[in-house]
Every structure is written in C-alpha cells, then in structure tokens.
Amino acid sequence: MVGQTDGRFTDGARGDDCLACGPAAHSLETLLHKYRLVVEHTSNMVVITDAQRRIEYVNPAYSRVTGWGLDEVIGRRPSQLLHGPQTDTEAVQRVRGWLDQGVPVVLAELLNYTKSGQPYWAQLNIQPVHDAQGVLTHFVAIQSDVTQQRAAREALQASERRLAEAQRLARMASFECEGPEQRLWWTPAAADVLGVDEAALPVDLAAHVGGVHPDDRATLEDAYRRMAWREDGYEVEYRLADAQGRARWVRERGYLLPAEGAMPSRLCALLYDISSTKAAQDRMAYLAWYDALTGLANREQLQALLQVRMDTSRQNGRQLAVLFIDLDRFKTINDSLGHHVGDEVLKVCGQRLRTGVRSNDLVARLSGDEFVIVLTDIADAGVVASLGTKILAALSAPMRIEGRELHVSGSLGVGLYPQHGDTVSELMRHADAAMYQAKAQGRNTLVFYTPEMHAHSARRFELESKLRLALPRREFSLHFQPQYRACDRSLVGFEALLRWHTEVDGWVPPDQFIPLAEEAGLIHQIGDWVLDEACRQWRRWAEHGHPGLRVAVNLSAYQLRDPALASRVAAHCERHGLPPDALELELTESVAMHDPRTSIQHMTTLRERGVCWAVDDFGTGYSSLAYLKTLPIERIKLDRAFVNDIEHNPDDRAICAAAIQIAHALGLELVAEGVENEQQLHYLAAQGCDVMQGYHLGRPMPADAALALVCQAIDPAGAPPPALP
Ligand code: C2E
Ligand code: MG
Ligand code: MG
C-alpha cells in the first residue's frame, strides 16, 4: 500500500500517522476503498513493482492501454513487456540509472508497445518507495499515453521549423516585443539573417536600437514613437553591424498585435536583409555618374558639373579651361594586344591624368580613349599651356603592362571659357576640334582652339559621312602605275593606287581620306575592296597571256594589326587564281617599325604563304639597317623625295647610291619611286637600281589603260586584247 510523507512515498500506511485522513474520520477500510477507487478509475496507468522491478500490480487503465492483464504480468519486468524495436535504448538506460540510485523519474518519455505490438508514447513518473528503515521496497510508476500530445507537439515543431527555414531563405527574421521590459523574442533564423551569433541578438528593444548605425538610429526611434502614438505600422531601413563589423542593410516592418486573452498587446516586427538590393542600387547610382573602368567621372557627370562650374566662373568673372585629350593610336594597342591590355592602358592613363591636376579639378572619361579635364579659376592661357604640356609628358612616360613596356601619347585640345563658347556643348565641341588639330600636327601636342578650326572640323565630319557611303555608292576605283626593270625597261608589274571620286568634291586625294578611313574604322572594308580589285585586275592581265606580272598593294598599319589579314589575303588570291608571289604588299617603314614584334609575326605568316613584302617610302622613317634585316621583305622602295633632286643635289645622289648598295648587301631589290625624267633614270640605272616607277615612265592609270599597256608592252605589235568572258 502506498502513503505519502514529506513529499516522499513510504511503504505501508501507518494508521494514525496517515496525513490524507485521520482514523477519527475514516476507518481503514473506507480509506482503502477510496484508494482503490482512485487507482482503478484513473485514466493513468499505474504499475507497482518490487525493488527488483518485478511487477506486483497493474491497474485496469494499464491493461486497457497495453492489452496485458494483471495475471499475465505479475513477476515480470515492465521492460520485457513494453519495449520494442524503436524504443530508445539510451533513454531506457538513463531511467534505469536513476532508479538504481533511488532517484525519482519525472516526465520521462519512452516509446512503448502494446501487447499487440502497437507503439504508443508513454510519459513516465516513477517514484522509489522506502520502508521505515529507508530500505527500497517498491517502485510506483504512473504512465500516461501522450501519443496524441506528442504528435501535436511534433507537428507544431515541424511547422515552426518550416517557418524558420522560410524566413531564412527569404533573408527574413522577426521578433516580438512585450512587457514593460520590452523583451525581444527572436525567431530561430534571426541570428543567421542578421549575421551575428545567437548570443549577440539584442535582448530588449533598447539594445536593438543601440545596435543600429548611429546615422540611422533616429529614424528607427522615430518610427517606434509614431507607431505607439498612432498605432499603425511602420517601415524603416537601417544598417546593423554583423559579427565581422560589416554593415548589413536591413528593412524593418512592424505593427502592433492587439491584446488577446492573457497576452498583452505587443510589437511584432519583420526584418529583411536588403544588403544585396542596396548594393545593386548603390552600384547603379554610381554607374550613372562614374566610369566603371577608370573610376573617373563619366560624360553625364562631366556635363552636369561643367555647367555648374561655368555658371560659377561667370559669376566670379574667372576663366575656365576644357582640356580634351585623345590617346594616339590607342586603337592599334587595342586591336593588336587585346582589349584587356587596352583596358589597363586606359586605367593607367586615367590615374596619370588624375594625379596631374588639383583635387578639385574635374577629370572625366567620355568614351573609348577620350578624356576631358576641366580646370577652374585659371589666371591665363599660359598656365593652361604649361599644365597641359606636363599632362602630355606624364601620359607619354613608358608603362609596363603584362610584362611589356608600352608607350602611349595623347593629343590635347583646349577650349577656354568664356572666349571659346558659352554653352557646355559648344565649349566641348571646340575643345574637340582643337584636339583634332593637335592630331593633325603630329600628335603628342597641345593646341588651343581657334575659330578657323570650326570650319575645318565641320568639313572633316562631312567628309567622314561621305566616306561611309563611298563603297556602297561604288565611288572607289583603282589606278595602276607601271614599274619597269631598270636594266632593260621591261614591265615588271603595277602599283595599285586607290582613287575616290565624289560627285560634289571631285577627286579626293588618298593622303586626305586614308587617315580618315583609318580613324573611322573603315580601312578594313576599304582595304579589302582594294585587295580584291587588285587581284581581279591581275587576273585580267593573266587572261591576256601575262601571268608573270606583279601587282603591288599598299597596306595601312591598321590592316597589318588585323589577325585575320593572312586569311583574307589568301582568300583573295585563291578567288582570282593568283599565285601568292604575284602579290606584293607595301608597308611604310614607320608602320613596320611601330610594333616590330607583331609586324614581323604577321608579315612572316604571309611570307610563308609566298606573298612578297616591300618597305615603302624608305628614307623618311627611322629604319635601322639592323632592323630592316629582321623583316621578311623582298624590296625597298626609296622615297621619291631623294629621287626628285638627284640632278642638282649631290647629297641626294649619295643617298640614292648608298640605298642601292645597302639593299643589295641585304639581298633585297631596290625600287626607286618618283622618277620624273631621263637624267634621274640614267643615274639610278648606272648605280644598279633594280626597278623604277615614276611619271616619266608612266602615270597611275585606270584599269583598262593598264591592261592595254600590258598587252602593248609585252607585245609591241599591239595586238588588241581578246574580249573577256
Ligand atoms: P605611295 O604608296 O608612296 O604611292 C606613290 C605615290 O606617289 C602616289 O600618290 C603616286 O601617284 C605618286 N607618284 C608616282 N610617281 C610620281 C612622280 O613621278 N612624281 C610625283 N610627284 N609623284 C609620283 P597617290 O596615289 O596620291 O598616293 C599617295 C599615297 O596614298 C600612297 O603613297 C600610299 O601611301 C597611299 N595610298 C594610295 N593608295 C592606297 C591604298 O589602296 N591603300 C593604302 N593603305 N594607302 C594607299
Ligand atoms: Mg606605295
Ligand atoms: Mg611610296
């Protein structure tokens, strides 16, 4: 029998000492009856075992739930009857350990099995019972079936887990704030979303506000105040520091939950991590005003600030200067060394410009290789000129990029305010025109705007627009100038020279439009057309029985840098059936010198396919003989400037003679250009010149005239050429 004393159960009722009821009120039998009523009618399972945990008694509720009758269980251990495959053995060991030490088991949960093998969750309370001497005599276990509560609890936990996971995925945390202490209850994902340790989550509202970036704190405090006052929601954005001290942008949206039953009204807030959205917004705002590559101001910022600075200058009666800088031959670097090298060059140039001026001067990159500097408060043009010269010097210092040393220079045009324009666009246009003038004057120079330039740049612009239409309008043609062998005056071939005829301007000289085509990026298409047309004409000569003639084509520096040049040339030769050695490509020596390594590479590729190379305008550049030796060339064309004056100038005579000897010493042929009279021809022939070309021998002529000359020169009887298919 079971009694209770001082919170500890003891074995056997001790008559008068029974606390539950006194003998005066109840007889022992009445008391026993009441105990039985309790034990037999409770919905909890009651098990009484001896000290060795052998069952002495189970109540009807036990039999009802487990299916085991009293008779079947007496003398057996509960574990033999109730435990099954999923029972947590570690939990069982723990319970046994406590019981062995005489410690009560409170609210332990175990998965038990009924007699028919049905699992159920049991919540256990087991009390050891001692006799008057303190010896353990029994255990009284009260079990209840908590399967349903447990399922409900697990469902709740799973739903909380899902909510936490959803919040974590949405980069969202939330808290509830209640009570006068304004304690905060955070959702599980909060620490992760805010990037802090669990322990660092603020415990109350004051700590939360204290953790917000000082600049944003007032906004949040204000939102809380307004919400308490007006009782409607709020939304604020602020920065919090994460565990590494980095700022994390958070958007907090909160509202008041009204009091409900025992729950007082409380603040509920959702926090979103919006750092990436903010970063994207910042980047967009940055890109709207800055050039991403160099970090300098972009065109939009330049235009806005130039306007402001012009206004200020007008009010102060001060001068302002716009320096327009364009890098020289930047396109060549980009085309030949790749865009990544080009980008590095632009970055270095941007830095050099930035360090070359005062911190409040504006430096911007307009596009490509164009930069603009705005200098304010300048005393006079002299100051601008000396600063501009320093800037050009800084730009042209050698730079090392990807292990190579590169040399870049710039052309600089200056427009002054107010003299050269009183609107942003006019001042910029005029500085731009001055820059073009600087380019025309040989690059790496500085030029101030003058009104005549306006007309010049307008004409240039007009010409460029027309040049774009020249190919589709079929305004180009090739003229052919004959070349003769000096020893016997036999025709060896022709140089193809490009001609452009427009309805309005008439003939435009190649010296004018070729540089324009190069800068406008049209030279590749035009050069391709020239190659195709030259090969087509050679084909006509061959079809008239003269396949031994050579056709020479001038190449621009830009074409030489084109990695596809070799395949283009090969395609033209193939289309018109030209053996590659019938084609000669002319390069001016300065072109071949500009980037010798790349030049040699491209020239060698074509040479290996049989194409011949000639160095044009020899003597006007800086070719060293040692360098000439490294080029895969067959011919040198001596510039006509040396031939012009042979009769009168002994120096020129000496130069011509030396050039011929040098060519021969290097195993090359020498072609003399610009032979205009018989005396020049005689002198050159006497010195051993190999080939001659000039007005005296034949002017550049249209294709049909060249064909007629071919037939006549080789067949003096002058039989008319057969009709072409
Ligand atoms: P270049 O390659 O040195 O061509 C020779 C130039 O000298 C031609 O001028 C020719 O008409 C001129 N010339 C020939 N014999 C005499 C003479 O006895 N006396 C004088 N005073 N001049 C003579 P043009 O046709 O005006 O060409 C000028 C330059 O334009 C060429 O110089 C060449 O560098 C360039 N060019 C011409 N056609 C093309 C082309 O298809 N592509 C490229 N990239 N450049 C070309
Ligand atoms: Mg030439
Ligand atoms: Mg020439």
Q: Is a pLDDT exceeding 60 seen at residue 246?
A: yes
pTM of the predicted model over 0.95: no
- Is 483 near ligand 1, meaning CB less than 6 Å away? no
- The residue ranking higher by pLDDT, 165 or 647, is 647
Q: Which residue has the higher pLDDT, 256 or 412?
A: 412
pLDDT at 623: 54
Taking the centre of ligand 1 as the mean of its atom positions, its distance from the CA of residue 630, in whole angstroms, is 26
HEC string for 51-92: CCCCEEEECHHHHHHHCCCHHHHCCCCHHHHHCCCCCCHHHH
Question: With helix as H, strand as E and coil as C, how does 530-542 read?
Answer: HHHHHHHHHHHHH
pLDDT score recorded for residue 267? 87
Ligand 1 mean position, distance from CA 497 (Å): 6
530 C-beta closer than 6 A to ligand 1: yes
What is residue 16's predicted lDDT score, i.e. its pLDDT?
Answer: 45
- Could you tell me if the CB of 294 is within 6 A of ligand 1? no
Q: How far is the CA of 700 from the centre of ligand 1 (A)?
A: 9
Q: Whose CA is nearest to atom 45 of ligand 1?
A: 554
Residues of the chain with CATH 3.30.70.270: 288-450
The reported pLDDT for the residue numbered 560 is 87
The predicted pLDDT at position 723 comes to 38
Residue 352 has pLDDT above 70, yes or no: yes
- Dump pLDDT digits (tens) for 403-420: 888 888 999 999 999 999
SS3 category, 666: coil
Of 219, 224, 158, 163, the C-alpha closest to 189 is: 163
pLDDT in tens, 313-322: 998 889 999 9
Residue type, 462: E
Q: What is the mean pLDDT of residues 430-441?
A: 89
Question: Of the bound ligands, which one is closest to the alpha carbon of residue 586?
Answer: 2
Please indicate whether residue 62 or residue 600 has the higher confidence score (pLDDT): 62
pLDDT at 260 over 80: no
| Intervals of CATH 3.30.450.20 along the chain | 2-151, 153-280
Please identify which residue in the block is written with the tokens 């396109």: 331
Closest atom, ligand 1, to C-alpha of 511: 30
C-beta of 698 in contact with ligand 1 (< 6 A): no
Looking at CATH, the fold of the domain delimited by 288-450 is given as Alpha-Beta Plaits (3.30.70)
| Ligand 1 pocket member 695 (CB < 6 A) | yes
For residue 483, which ligand has an atom nearest its CA?
1
Looking at residue 489, what DSSP letter applies? Answer: -
- How far is 90 from 539, CA to CA, in rounded Å? 98
CATH number for 2-151 (one of 3.30.450.20, 3.30.465.10, 3.40.50.2000, 3.40.630.30): it is 3.30.450.20
Output the residue whose Cα is nearest ligand 1's atom 27: 510
Residue span(s) of the chain under CATH 3.20.20.450 come to 466-713
Tens digits of residue pLDDT in 611-636: 999 999 887 655 556 667 788 999 99
Is residue 497 in contact with ligand 1, taking CB distance under 6 Å?
Answer: yes
Could you report the per-residue pLDDT of 270-307, keeping only the tens digit for each? 998 888 888 877 777 787 889 989 999 999 899 999 99
Class of 153-280 in CATH: alpha beta
d(CA 529, CA 532): 5
How large is the average pLDDT for residues 577-606? 83
Q: What is the separation of C-alpha 110 from the centre of its chain, rounded to a whole number of angstroms? A: 59
Is the pLDDT score of 193 beyond 90? no
Question: Helix, strand, or coil here: 451?
Answer: helix
128 lines ligand 1 (CB under 6 A): no
Query: Both tokens of residue 630?
Result: 């490294």
**In ligand 1, which atom is closest to the CA atom of 676?**
18
Alpha-carbon separation of residue 315 from 308, 309, 312, 420, 421 (angstroms): 11, 10, 5, 17, 16
Please state whether the peptide bond connecting residue 128 to the residue before it is cis, i.e. omega within 30 degrees of 0: no
Query: Average pLDDT of the chain?
Result: 87
Tokens 């200067």 identify what position?
A: 321
Q: What number of other Cβ atoms are within 10 A of residue 705's Cβ?
A: 14
Q: Which residues surround ligand 3, an ion (CB under 5 A)?
A: 616-617, 673
Upper half-sphere CA count for residue 582 (Cβ side, 13 Å): 21
Number of the ligand 1 atom closest to the C-alpha atom of 696: 18
Are the CB atoms for 395 and 352 separated by under 8 Å? Answer: yes
Q: What are phi and psi of 3, to 5 degrees?
A: -125, 180
Q: Is residue 595 in contact with ligand 1, taking CB distance under 6 Å?
A: no
Ligand 1 site, residue 511, Cβ cutoff 6 A: yes
Mean pLDDT of 388-402: 93
Using the structure block, give the residue that is written with the tokens 């309370």.
125
Q: Would the pLDDT of 308 be above 80?
A: yes
The DSSP call for residue 16 is: G
Segment (H or E) for 266: strand 266-273
- Among 497, 511, 692, 699, residue to substitute to test ligand 1 (most atoms within 8 Å of Cβ): 497
pLDDT above 50 (res 719): no
Q: What is the dihedral of CA 454, 456, 457, 461, to 10 degrees?
A: 130
For the packed helices 299-316 and 424-440, what is the interaxial angle rounded to 10 degrees? 110
CATH of 466-713, one of 3.40.720.10, 3.20.20.70, 3.20.20.450, 1.10.357.10: 3.20.20.450
The pLDDT of residue 593? 62
Q: What tokens does 140 get? A: 């009284």
